């Protein structure tokens, strides 16, 4: 089987930095994705890591360690609009099928 | 602009009825997916397709079916709706194994089974 674990809730202050961790157990691994979902909205793609290391896209960065079965999403210079749920998702094969974690709800406070 | 749409956006039905949720994408993507989202479970894969005439079961496929007769559409059918199928349903699509593995999601359908 496979499982992904991420914290259910995280709270941070506007302007701060927050890290959302994701650990996974899976047979077969191609890469780790991150998606953002605002309340009432659809998930939107943030990042994808297939290789170890840090990928940076503006204020958001994502890290992967394949040997540790671990990744994280780093959000810098937090803004109120970053309040949303964040999902990590594992890609197990060359196909695009994903298995999602249960999500981390981020609340950004003024 | 290319997009992915779902209809209806909201649906209320009764237990035992057959329900079909539509998904249409204009990205010309080969890959299409159906997920359900429930509190505490995140997004769970119901069925997926990697091309016309191809369909595959996901982790929660019981009670659901799909068919893929063209590239643009992947309708999801609930054969006999049950209260446990009350959920928000998302359709998604992706291109041929892009390096970023990005899936594009539709706006969702909120289904209530009474």
Residue B39 to residue A78: CA distance in whole angstroms: 25
Please give the pLDDT value at position A26. 87
Residue A89 to residue B30: CA distance in whole angstroms: 20
Averages of pLDDT over runs of 10 residues in chain B (114 residues) are 94 98 95 94 93 95 97 97 98 77 94 98
Please give the pLDDT value at position B87. 98
Joined together, the tokens standing for residue A29 give 């691994």
- How many Å is the Cα radius of gyration of chain A? 13
The residue among B39, B49, B51, B103 with the most chain A CBs within 10 A of its CB, best to mutate, is B103
Interchain CB contact of B42 with A (< 8 Å) = yes
Interchain CB contact of B105 with A (< 8 Å) = yes
Q: Which residue has the higher pLDDT, A29 or A93?
A: A29
Q: How far is B96 from chain A (nearest CA, A)?
A: 8
Please give the pLDDT value at position A95. 76
CB contact under 8 A, A97 and B104: no
């Amino acid at each position: 089987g496979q499982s992904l674990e991420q914290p259910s809730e995280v709270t941070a202050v506007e302007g701060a930095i927050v890290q959302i961790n994701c650990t996974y157990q899976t047979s077969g691994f191609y890469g780790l994705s991150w998606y953002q979902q605002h309340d009432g909205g659809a998930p939107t793609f943030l990042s994808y890591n297939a290789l170890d290391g840090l990928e940076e896209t503006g204020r958001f960065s994502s890290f992967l360690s394949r040997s540790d079965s671990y990744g994280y999403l780093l959000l810098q210079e937090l803004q109120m609009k970053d309040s949303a749920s964040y999902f990590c998702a594992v890609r197990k094969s060359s196909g695009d099928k994903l298995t999602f974690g249960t999500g981390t709800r981020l609340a950004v406070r003024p | 602009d290319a997009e992915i749409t779902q209809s209806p956006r909201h649906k209320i039905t009764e237990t035992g009825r057959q329900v079909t949720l539509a998904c249409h994408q204009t990205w010309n993507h080969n890959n299409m997916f159906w997920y359900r989202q429930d509190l505490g479970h995140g997004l769970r894969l119901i069925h997926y397709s990697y091309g016309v005439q191809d369909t595959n079961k996901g982790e929660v496929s019981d009670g659901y079916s799909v068919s893929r007769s063209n590239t643009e559409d992947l309708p999801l059918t609930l054969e006999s709706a049950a209260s446990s199928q009350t959920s928000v349903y998302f359709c998604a699509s992706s291109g041929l194994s892009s390096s970023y593995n990005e899936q594009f999601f539709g706006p969702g359908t909120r289904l209530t089974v009474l």
